[in-house]
Amino acid sequence: LADRLQSTIKKITGKGKVSEQDVKEMTREVRLALLEADVNFKVVKDLINRIKERAVGQEVMESLTPGQQVIKVVKEELTTLMGGEHSKIAVSDRPPTVIMMVGLQGAGKTTTTGKLANHLRKKQNRSPLLVACDIYRPAAIQQLETLGEQLSMPVFSMGTEANPVDIATKAIEQAKEEHNDYVIIDTAGRLHVDNELMDELQQIKSKVKPDEIFLVVDAMTGQDAVNVADSFNDQLDISGVVLTKLDGDTRGGAALSIKAVTDKPIKFAGMGEKLDELEAFHPERMASRILGMGDVLSLIEKAQTNVDEKQAKALEEKMRTMSFTFDDFLEQMGQVKNMGPLDDLMAMIPGANKMKGLKNAQLDEKQLVHVEAIIQSMTKKERHEPSIMNASRKKRIAKGSGTSVSQVNRLLKQFEEMKKMMKQMTNMQKGKKGKGMNF
């Protein structure tokens, strides 16, 4: 999806004025791209009509930067389509708050149960009780218990003989006694939607009256995910959707259609198998990602959970004000190391994948050691004002860090490029006109 849209966007951003013909061409490409990405055709049709209406009007024609305007319109419409702002998890005024997880087999219910519990504890200081109501799948209870152990959180189960409705009921009683403020019920799935499954889920629902029913859907299943969401919503009136496996080779089509078809928000995105790989779903960021602008905010958010939040905020501020120095660079490198595979991170930086030289040189993990040594050999003044760097300073730094002058030069150059890139990124975030719209 991103590739197609990007090439069309590229064509249009280079232009000074956009003609009606351009808009037509653009919307045709957008339409094809969305259909190719398994977006429901009715959804696409509505979307294209709205884009055309807005883009062909004066809004674009009279604008100084028409390319940007068209992208803005497309992005806004994609965002709206995915549900505007992201939503929070309900809090019951009579604890415990009960969350019921539903979905097909393999969608990621059990994993997401663990992730959600982790999220509630980490971000909201809650103490959840996990409940094993999947009595059919062999080892399902065991799987949840293992997650509970990893998280040091209680798991309620009554084995495979008990009735799921009873299990859920007793679990809530226990949660009250033990002062667990959230109860997350992991239910059984099937390979396909069937009546037996729906009956059971409806029984649980009517007995425990959950505050939230989260439907877990696998983003990789494309249009199927949308159909599944539609029928679960019909039968259970779900309150939100968790879209899993967005870390995989997904085309994003599911995210675009689910909200439109069910009118229920996508609340979270599963970004991997690990327990901390759950993110709040931000429609705007998803739209940006689809449009290939990268996802700067996610990057910053990722930094926040892995490092001190204050540090990350300060970094964000520095990027915005451009007072970024080698000291920050050093600090940031430390953070980057804690954040996992560099490729993941680079994928989120707009345009970074195109800056091949920069990527290879700057982010090869072995080279980070050299980079660190070079910066550490700089004086305070040099770190803040790299422009004062002359030949003798460079020589001293190379010697001090056990590197060569050409390595020092390379780093200085990369640093400048990085600053430039940050400028582009922050401009893009602010939607500034006329600068750096460089896909």
Residue 240, SS3 per DSSP:
strand
Burial class (CB in 10 A: 0-12, 13-18, 19+), 375: buried
Count, residues near ligand GDP per rule CB under 6 A: 18
Q: What is the dihedral of CA 278, 283, 286, 288, to 10 degrees?
A: -140
The least distance separating ligand GDP from the CB of residue 109, rounded to whole angstroms, comes to: 3
Is residue 109 at the binding interface for ligand GDP, with CB under 6 A as the rule? yes
Greatest Cα pair distance, the chain, in angstroms, is: 79
- Report the distance separating Cα 253 and Cα 223, nearest Å: 7
Of residues 40 and 110, the one with the C-beta less far from Mg ion: 110
The 3-class secondary structure across 318-360, one letter per residue, is: HHHHCCCCHHHHHHHHHHHHHCCCHHHHHHHCCCHHHCHHHHH
Contact region with ligand GDP (CB under 6 A), list: 229-237, 239-247, 311-319, 332-340 = 239-247
Is residue 221 at the binding interface for ligand GDP, with CB under 6 A as the rule? no
Which residues 130-169 are close enough to bind Mg ion by CB under 5 A? Answer: 140
Residue 102, SS3 per DSSP:
strand
- C-beta of residue 358 within 8 angstroms of C-beta of residue 420: no
Is residue 436 at the binding interface for ligand GDP, with CB under 6 A as the rule? no
Burial class (CB in 10 A: 0-12, 13-18, 19+), 366: exposed
Cis peptide, bond prior to residue 96, ω within 30 of zero: yes
Residue whose tokens read 């059990």 = 110
Contact region with ligand GDP (CB under 6 A), list: 7-15, 30-38, 160-168, 267-275 = 267-275
Is residue 110 at the binding interface for Mg ion, with CB under 5 A as the rule? yes
- Report the distance separating Cα 209 and Cα 231, nearest Å: 20
Is residue 110 at the binding interface for ligand GDP, with CB under 6 A as the rule? yes
Among ligand GDP, Mg ion, none, the one that 71 touches (CB under a kind-dependent 5 to 8 A) is: none
Is residue 154 at the binding interface for ligand GDP, with CB under 6 A as the rule? no
The least distance separating ligand GDP from the CB of residue 105, rounded to whole angstroms, comes to: 5
Q: Which residue is nearest to ligand GDP (CB)?
A: 270
- C-beta of residue 316 within 8 angstroms of C-beta of residue 405: no
Is residue 108 at the binding interface for ligand GDP, with CB under 6 A as the rule? yes
Of residues 225 and 293, the one with the C-beta less far from Mg ion: 225
105 annotated as a binding-site residue: yes
Of residues 66 and 103, the one with the C-beta less far from ligand GDP: 103
The least distance separating ligand GDP from the CB of residue 217, rounded to whole angstroms, comes to: 10
The least distance separating ligand GDP from the CB of residue 277, rounded to whole angstroms, comes to: 6
Is residue 69 at the binding interface for Mg ion, with CB under 5 A as the rule? no
Among Mg ion, ligand GDP, none, the one that 108 touches (CB under a kind-dependent 5 to 8 A) is: ligand GDP
Is residue 148 at the binding interface for ligand GDP, with CB under 6 A as the rule? no
Residues in the chain: 439
Residue whose tokens read 């890139």 = 421
Count, residues near Mg ion per rule CB under 5 A: 3
16 annotated as a binding-site residue: no
Q: What are phi and psi of 42, to 5 degrees?
A: -70, -40
- C-beta of residue 171 within 8 angstroms of C-beta of residue 129: yes
Residue in 103, 164, 253, 350 binding ligand GDP, rule: CB under 6 A: 103
Is residue 414 at the binding interface for Mg ion, with CB under 5 A as the rule? no
Is residue 267 at the binding interface for ligand GDP, with CB under 6 A as the rule? no
Quote helix, strand, coil % in the chain, to nearest 5: 60, 10, 30
Q: What's the Cα-to-Cα distance from 193 to each of 66, 111, 256, 333, rounded to whole Å?
A: 46, 20, 22, 47
- Report the distance separating Cα 304 and Cα 306, nearest Å: 5
Residue in 20, 36, 199, 273 binding ligand GDP, rule: CB under 6 A: 273
- Report the distance separating Cα 19 and Cα 241, nearest Å: 39
Annotated binding-site residues for GTP read 103-110, 186-190, 244-247
Contact positions toward ligand GDP, by CB under 6 A? 103, 105-111, 189, 216, 244-245, 247-248, 270-273
Annotated binding-site residues read 103-110, 186-190, 244-247
Contact positions toward Mg ion, by CB under 5 A? 109-110, 140
